[in-house]
Amino acid sequence: MQVAAVSEDQTDNTYSVIYELLTANHSRAAGDLRIDVGLTRCYLLDRPGELEPVTAAAGSREGQPITDAILDETHLWLPSNGGRRLARTLRRNVAKMGGRSYETTNSFVPGEDSVAEATHRAVEQGAPGVYCDAVEAPPVREDDPDEKLAEALRVAYGDSWWVDIDRLVADIRDPDSLWEDSARYFLNWNTDDRAKAVTAAQWNDLAARRVQVPRGTRVGLGFDGSISDDCTALLACAALDGTPHTWPLKVWARPPKAKRGWRIPRLEVAEAVEDAFDRYDVGRMLCDPAKWQTEIEAWAEEYPDVDGEERVAFFDTNQSLRMSRACDRWLTAIAEGSYSHDGSKVLTEHVLAMHRRKVHTRDEDDDGRTRFVFVKGPERLKIDAGIAAVLALEACMTMPAPPAKRKPKFAFA
C-alpha cells in the first residue's frame, strides 16, 4: 500500500493518522493486526506486506507491485508539480495487481487541470469504475446572515460532530478571508479564484479599427506556437505616435471538422514570418519555444542580431518571473489606456478568455508586489492570440532603436 501526495508534508497528514491509530492504547491495533509500525513505514509481521508514504517522483514509482494507493489532497496534484504523472503511475501499478486507488481532496480550482478536476470530469461523464462521494453546501451568498451560512455549513459537514460550525463562520467573516477560498474549503464548492485579465469594456474601449500601419514601420513580433489542439498566433505591435498598437498577422486554429492527426501547417507559419520581416522593420521577435525550437532557431539564423542586440529570441511563457513582468507591462498599458488594438474578432476572443493567476515572485528591487501570469479560465477557451499580444508588446517596448541613418558625404571639386 502507498499513501501518496505531492510533498512529504502532505503525506504526513494521512500517514500520521494511521500511525496514531495503530499505536494508540499501547499499540493494541498494531498487535492484533500483526503490524510492525514505524515512523516512516509499516510492515506485516507474518506475511509479505508494506505500507509507505510516497511523493511525486513518479519515475521511481513505475512498476511497483501495489494493491492499494491513497491519493491525498488531489486538488494540489497538478501537471506542473508532477501530480498528474504520479496519479497515472500509481493507477497503472494498482491495475496490474488487481487493486484499487482511493482519492481524498478538497474542492479544486476549475481550469488548473488537477487530478481532482480530471476525476470530477470523469464522474460527470459517467466513466465506469469510479465511485464518488461528495457533499456540497446549498447556495448561500457572502452577505447572507450568519444563521444561513451556518445552515449551509452543517450540510457540507454532515455528521462531522467534532467540527465547530460557529468557529468556521467566524473564520469566513474574518476581513482577511477571501470568500472564494471559504467557498472551496468550507462549502465544498469548485470555485475559480482567478479573475479575468481584462473586462470586455476595457478591451473594447481600446479598439482602433481604422489604423493603417505603413510598410517599413518598426515593429515587435510575438509568436505563440502549438502543434494541433491550441492555436498558433503571430502578432505585431508598433509604437504609433508613442502608443503601442497591436494587431494579428495570422492565427492558425484547428478546423471544426478536422481529421484526426491534423497539425498546424508549419510551412504556412514560416511563410507568414518571412512576410512579416519583408513587410516591416522587425526590431525584435519574442517566441514561446514549446514544440517550435527548430523553427525559431532557423529564424534567428535567417534574421541575425544587429549590433549585438538579439533580434529573434526565445521567451518561455512558463518562466513565471519573466512572464509576470511582461504581463504586468501589458496590464499597466491597458489600465492607463496607453495601448490600442485593431478590434479583430479572434484577438478579442482570446484576450477576453485570459485569466490572471498569482505567482509568488519578487522583482529585482525585492518590493514583493503581487504579480500575475495569464492562463486559461475554467471554460478552457483558447488564449494563444492574447499571449502573443503580450509577447508582441514586450518585443516592441524592449527592441533597440533603429540604426541611425548615415548622412551622405559630398565631395566638392
Q: How far is CA 394 from CA 177, 242, 383, 400, in A?
A: 35, 15, 17, 12
Q: Note the pLDDT of residue 58.
A: 55
Cα(320)–Cα(317) distance, rounded to whole angstroms? 7
In this predicted structure, what is the pLDDT of residue 364? 47
Cell of 136: 456540497
Q: What is the mean pLDDT of the chain?
A: 90
The three-class DSSP label of residue 102 is strand
Q: How far apart are CA 184 and CA 189, in angstroms?
A: 5
Q: Bridge partners of 44?
A: 35
Band (246; pLDDT cuts 50, 70, 90): very high
Which of 79-93, 153-167, 368-382 shows the lowest per-residue confidence on average (mean pLDDT)?
A: 368-382
Give 188-244 pLDDT, tens digit per residue: 998 765 678 998 889 999 999 788 999 999 999 999 999 887 899 999 999 998 899
The whole model's pTM is what? 0.60
Distance CA 245, CA 340 (A): 5
Mean pLDDT of 290-310: 92
pLDDT of the residue at 360: 63
pLDDT band at 365 (very low <50, low <70, confident <90, very high): very low
Q: How far is CA 179 from the centre of its chain?
A: 22
Alpha helices in 217-265 (DSSP H): none
Does the structure show a pLDDT above 70 at 379? yes
E-strand ranges in 25-121 read 35-37, 42-44, 50-54, 68-72, 100-104
What value does the mean pLDDT take over residues 361-382?
69
- The per-residue pLDDT for 405 is 66
Position 403 pLDDT exceeds 80: no
For the chain, helix, strand, coil in percent to 5 are 40, 20, 45
| Tens digit of each residue's pLDDT (9 = 90 or more) over 14-52 | 889 999 999 999 999 999 999 999 988 999 998 999 999
Tell me what pLDDT residue 286 has: 98
pLDDT above 70: percentage of residues in the chain: 93
**String of DSSP letters for 113-150:** --HHHHHHHHHHTT-TT------PPPP--TTS-HHHHH
The residue length of the chain stands at 413
Instruction: Please say if the pLDDT value at position 247 is more than 70.
Output: yes
pLDDT at 70 over 70: yes
Q: How far is 318 from 330, CA to CA, in rounded Å? A: 17
The winner for highest mean pLDDT among 284-288, 367-371, 373-377 is 284-288
Burial 45-57 (b: 16+ CB within 10 A, else e): eeeeeebbbbbbe
Q: Please, which residues bridge with residue 36 across strands?
A: 43
Beta-ladder partners of 100: 68
Q: What is the DSSP letter of 409?
A: P
Tens digit of each residue's pLDDT (9 = 90 or more) over 250-274: 999 999 888 888 999 999 999 999 9
The stretch 124-148 carries a mean pLDDT of: 92
What dihedral do alpha carbons 258, 262, 263, 269 form, nearest 10°? -40
Q: Give percent of the chain above pLDDT 90.
A: 67
Domains and CATH numbers, the chain: 2-124 (no CATH), 146-185 (no CATH), 200-398 (3.30.420.240)
Sheet of 312-314: strands edge to edge? 312-314, 281-288, 218-224, 232-240, 243-252, 340-341
Kindly state the cell numbers that stand for 101: 486507488
Name residue, grid cell 492570440.
385
Cβ neighbours for 105, distance < 8 A, ≥ 6 positions apart: 73, 74, 75, 115, 116
Enter the DSSP assignment of 74.
Answer: G
**Residue corresponding to grid cell 493486526:** 33
Closest to 90 (Cα-Cα) out of 119, 127, 57: 57
Determine the Cα–Cα distance for residues 5 and 2; give it in Å rounded to an integer: 10
Is the pLDDT at 313 greater than 50? The verdict is yes
pLDDT score for 199: 86
pLDDT recorded at residue 97: 94
Residues 6+ apart with CB under 8 A from 41: 50, 51, 52, 53
pLDDT at 367 over 60: no
